[in-house]
Amino acid sequence: ERGFSAGTNKIVWGVWKQKLKWSRRYAEKIASGKITLKEGEGFDLIKEMTDEQAMLGNMIQRANLRRFSGLAPAMNAFFFAARSKIGRFLLPKDLLGITIHQKKVGFNPRVMKEAWKDLLLVTALISGIMLLGDWLGLWETEEDPRNAEFMSARIGNTRIDPWAGYRQFAVLYARLVTKTGISSLTGSEYDVNSEKAVQTFVKNSFSPMVSILLEFWTGRNFLGAVIDFTDKEYWVEKVTAMSLWDIYEAFKMEGWIRAAQVTVPAIYGEGVQTYTGDWVENWNKLGISKYPENLAEGLPEPAYDAKDFWSDTAGQFRGVDPATLTEAKGFPPYIR
């Protein structure tokens, strides 16, 4: 597990105890007559804390599976961090104040208030940090919710995602509503097929084992790129801890300084990704035989030239403002 687990446990336990103190004070105010409940309304401290605990569990992506708890291992075999995804899925229930006790649906305005307060505070805090860093020139922040890197810190070709999985739902909803998406590689706009968008969302939720089986079946990764199963690096990635692989990719593409910058975020659970488009590889092919397989037969011509590079690259930036293709975002000068 990543380094944030122990810290999360301590923080949440502290929050739970604070909510317990508040609930006890609330009960005392009811008993003293300072708070008058509506006719037929009651206050049960145990039920109150059960509701608060369920809300906290969903907030930190550790949903209570209740009677299905025994199925957790099987669910994790198919979906990556199943309890995490269920927690995010159930969060709207808390925002609406919906509670369930002994198969009966109820309403708890105090839980709804706490859920909204916690969600808005966390969202404001993280958004503030992302926008402040952008304003100070420490990184670039993507502000379009249709972009997969929405509200991430972008430093060159490296993206740091502090949203713990919540962002992917916001991006999915934005794309489904607008029927368009924004490429996280180039910034170009494209049409979105709602059915395929949902299918991709589900595929990206699969567990590592299921993802590997799916890659074997289709021969492509989640980005749609063809997989070279003879590449040793592919297999090393599958058996390496995600945080370590994130650091390695940053080092491989952008050097030791970038690797050092992402080490702490990667270890403590922030999503770190480093990637760029195929134009970097294609740029390095200029002047080299366009068909390397023909070299064995003594046929170096034709060479990969500027026209080929333009043909392979220009279409990816259709409709993109060249002013947005900055070096701070990892775009080399020849792209502009």
Give me the mean pLDDT over the 261-279 stretch. 88
Domain boundaries, the chain: 4-121, 207-232, 277-336
Q: How many angstroms separate the CA atoms of 211 and 199, rounded?
A: 13
Q: What is the pLDDT of residues 198-218, one digit of tens each?
A: 888 877 766 666 677 777 777
Sign of CA dihedral 82, 88, 91, 92: negative
Which of 58-72, 135-149, 162-176, 206-220 has the largest mean confidence?
135-149
pLDDT (average), residues 232-242:
81
Which has the minimum average pLDDT: 30-44, 155-169, 201-215?
201-215
Residues in the chain: 336
- Local confidence band at 1 (pLDDT 50, 70, 90 cut-offs): very low
Q: What is the pLDDT of residues 90-131, one digit of tens each?
A: 888 999 999 888 778 889 899 999 999 999 999 999 999 999
CA distances from 61 to 14, 57, 225 (A): 17, 6, 31
Percentage of the chain exceeding pLDDT 70:
89
With a cut of 70, say whether residue 71 has pLDDT above it: no
Q: Could you give the C-alpha distances from 127 to 71, 153, 161, 195, 262, in angstroms and in order? A: 36, 10, 11, 30, 19
| Cβ-proximal residues to 11 (8 Å cutoff; 6+ apart), any chain | none
Q: Across residues 266-289, what is the average pLDDT?
A: 88
CA distances from 234 to 85, 231, 251, 319, 334 (A): 26, 6, 17, 34, 30
